[in-house]
Amino acid sequence: MTQRGKSGGGSGNSGDGGGGRRQQTVRVKTAHKRSLSSTLWLQRQLNDPYVAEAKRLGYRSRAAFKLVQLDEKFKLLGPGKRVVDLGAAPGGWTQVAIARVGSDKGRGRVVGLDILPMEPIPGADLIQADFLAPDAPDQLRALLGGGADVVMSDMAAPTTGHAKTDHLRVIALAETALMFALEVLEPGGAFVAKVFQGGSEKDLLDPLKKHFAIVRHAKPSASRADSSEMYVVATGFRRAD
């Protein structure tokens, strides 16, 4: 599977994506050699308040707001915490994490990985590698230099258009991320992973409930309304007896 990263950059400032400002709807005409689907995508981008707000704040894409909103709801990040970001490209969640744990001030630590190349992010250690490669977890552990307080995964395989297949593929990535999290998380730590609507499969939920005090599903308002993505958020990590 190929992991795809998410978003964001700039500062750790939060935002509601709309900033309370009304936007005038922009309509895009279908140009020569541009498909209808491309035209509709462009029109959606131009009229998306999160896209405008991301640009205003310096985030690399709108998806940075997903972590902002998850953190505000579940209190995942904080000064001095150590964070692993799986599926990090192009770096939005990484930059939000840096701003909130203070890794650029020598306190917290943020390590990110993606199969796609990423521009350097001050304060973060980044790896371009396939998370499913046998040596990838060891590379992350070496950079982390100890345990982690948060493991978060926005990894997703390229969609096939077949809902059940896409669901199973993203669950498989989440299960692999969880296996890594169980090895590196400190007691009380948190795990966040992308899943698709339909919830998490039993093979993912059972170990989550065994190892974490609280397990919940959430769909940030920054997730597109027509998207089936949501996140499983597990807090209060405890090692099995």
Q: How far is the CA of 74 from the CAs of 42, 115, 219, 220, 232, in angstroms?
A: 33, 28, 12, 11, 11
Report residue 18 as tokens.
């709309």
Q: Is residue 12 part of a domain?
A: no
Instruction: Please determine, for residue 85, whether its predicted confidence score (pLDDT) is greater than 90.
Output: yes
Between these two residues, 18 and 169, which has the higher pLDDT value? 169
Please count the structural domains in the chain: 1
Q: How far is the CA of 184 from the CAs of 51, 172, 191, 214, in angstroms?
A: 34, 19, 11, 18
Q: Is residue 118 part of a domain?
A: yes
Bind-site residues for S-adenosyl-L-methionine: 91, 93, 114, 130, 154
Give the whole-angstrom CA distance, residue 214 versus residue 209: 7
Q: Is residue 180 part of a domain?
A: yes
Mean of all residue pLDDT scores within the chain: 81
Q: Is residue 7 part of a domain?
A: no
- Which of the following is catalytic: 6, 66, 81, 194? 194
Q: Is residue 18 part of a domain?
A: no
194 a catalytic residue: yes
Q: Is residue 91 part of a domain?
A: yes
Work out whether the CA dihedral 90, 178, 234, 97 comes out positive or negative. negative
**What does the pLDDT look like over 173-197, one tens digit per residue?**
999 999 999 999 999 999 999 998 7
Reported residue count of the chain is 241
Q: Which domain holds residue 112?
A: 64-237
Confidence at residue 165, expressed as pLDDT on a 0 to 100 scale: 80
Per DSSP, 103 falls in state G
pTM above 0.85, yes or no: no
CATH number of the domain that residue 196 is part of: 3.40.50.150
Q: Are 76 and 89 in contact (CB under 8 A)?
A: no
Bind-site residues: 91, 93, 114, 130, 154
Residue 172 gets the label, from left (phi > 0), alpha (psi -120 to 50) or beta, of alpha
CA dihedral 207, 208, 211, 214 (to 10 degrees): -150
Q: Is residue 79 part of a domain?
A: yes
**What does the pLDDT look like over 12-67, one tens digit per residue?**
333 344 444 445 554 545 555 556 555 544 445 444 567 677 677 777 777 888 99
- Does the N-terminal peptide bond of residue 158 adopt cis geometry, omega within 30 degrees of 0? no
Instruction: Please determine, for residue 99, whether its predicted confidence score (pLDDT) is greater than 70.
Output: yes
Q: Are 213 and 238 in contact (CB under 8 A)?
A: yes
Q: Is residue 198 part of a domain?
A: yes
Between these two residues, 225 and 47, which has the higher pLDDT value? 225
